[in-house]
């Protein structure tokens, strides 16, 4: 069983990076869920001050999430693990040959584990407010209507492909690489403000599964697997095919203890 042996060796060597990859989705859910209560629950002073519209609260939530993602990406451990925090991102980098199969599998397992654990804890900690329809356990759901699933699937595919393309464009350039965390933060903030009504703005199967499992409800759960995974894998495959020579000194590789 070569893969099992390879995964055992990888676990012994790289387990700290797997813990980082578990901690990323957990921190994301902790901050985004708490911020969702602050910005959307009708009894929140912040929500009352912002008024009945949804665009401004979504923009505020996007700024909070964007700042968190940037902080995690630029942290020492985030730089070393690559700050994927998302199985779809890991799949894209695996397609590009930037991460070995054993590491990619451990990354994905850690990301799902972190999200599931965080979802279960938050469900209990935020129980008095989490279930309000305005917050809805911070789950991602397709819009109502017979074609809501198609709209959500298309939106998830578009934003996931755009995020993966931005990552590859930035990381394959020595000049742009240092701005990758900020670029991702800006994109996520914008997606939350603008795209969230179309699909809930997941981008991340682990993030969606974590809240859906805790709430015991995941309408259209398959959408948030098929859209991000398919789009990021496809974007990476096309990028690797048509961009043969990276502009940077070397392609990214994860984990990177030298980062």
- pLDDT tens, per residue, the chain with 259 residues: 588 999 999 999 999 999 999 999 999 999 999 999 999 999 999 999 998 889 999 999 999 999 999 999 999 999 999 999 999 999 999 999 999 999 999 999 999 999 999 999 999 999 889 999 999 999 999 999 999 999 999 999 999 999 999 999 999 888 899 999 999 999 999 999 999 999 999 999 999 999 999 999 888 999 999 999 999 999 999 998 887 554 455 678 999 998 7
Residue 89 tokens read as 């991102």
In a 13 Å sphere around the CA of 241, the CA atoms on its Cβ side amount to 6
Give the Cα-Cα-Cα angle 211, 25, 162 (nearest 5 degrees): 95
User: Coil, helix or strand for 254?
Assistant: strand
Contact 37, 128 (CB under 8 A): no
pLDDT score for 242? 81
pLDDT score for 116? 98
Question: Ramachandran region of residue 138, left (φ > 0), alpha (ψ -120 to 50) or beta?
Answer: left
Report H helices in the chain. 2-40, 45-50, 55-74, 76-81, 87-95, 101-125, 127-130, 148-171, 180-194, 196-199, 205-215, 223-242
pLDDT score for 244? 57
pLDDT score for 218? 84
pLDDT score for 72? 97
The domain locations on the chain are 2-242
pLDDT score for 252? 86
Contact 44, 37 (CB under 8 A): yes
User: Coil, helix or strand for 99?
Assistant: strand
2-242: CATH topology is Glycerol uptake facilitator protein (1.20.1080)
Residue 85 tokens read as 């925090």
Is the pTM here over 0.75, yes or no? yes
């Amino acid at each position: 069983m070569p893969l099992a042996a390879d995964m055992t060796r990888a676990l012994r060597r790289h387990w700290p990076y797997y813990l980082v990859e578990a901690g990323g989705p957990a921190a994301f859910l902790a901050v985004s869920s708490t911020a969702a209560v602050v910005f959307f629950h009708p009894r929140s002073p912040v929500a009352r001050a912002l008024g009945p519209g949804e665009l401004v609260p979504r923009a505020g939530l996007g700024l909070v999430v964007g700042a968190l993602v940037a902080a995690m990406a630029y942290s020492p451990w985030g730089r070393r693990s690559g700050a994927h925090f998302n199985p779809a991102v890991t799949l894209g980098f695996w397609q590009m040959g930037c991460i070995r199969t054993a590491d990619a599998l451990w990354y994905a397992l850690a990301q799902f584990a972190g999200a599931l654990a965080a979802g279960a804890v938050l469900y209990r900690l935020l129980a008095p407010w989490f279930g309000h329809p305005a917050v809805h356990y911070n789950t991602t759901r397709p819009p109502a209507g017979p074609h809501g699933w198609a709209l959500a699937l298309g939106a998830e595919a578009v934003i996931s492909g755009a995020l993966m393309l931005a990552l590859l464009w930035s990381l394959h350039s020595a000049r742009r690489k240092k701005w990758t965390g900020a670029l991702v933060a800006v994109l996520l903030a914008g997606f939350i403000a603008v795209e969230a009504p179309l699909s809930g703005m997941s981008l991340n199967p682990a993030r969606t599964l974590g809240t859906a499992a805790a709430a015991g409800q995941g309408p259209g759960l398959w959408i948030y697997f098929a859209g991000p995974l398919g789009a990021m894998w496809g974007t990476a495959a096309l990028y690797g095919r048509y961009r043969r020579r990276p502009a940077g000194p070397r392609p990214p590789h994860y984990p990177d203890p030298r980062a």
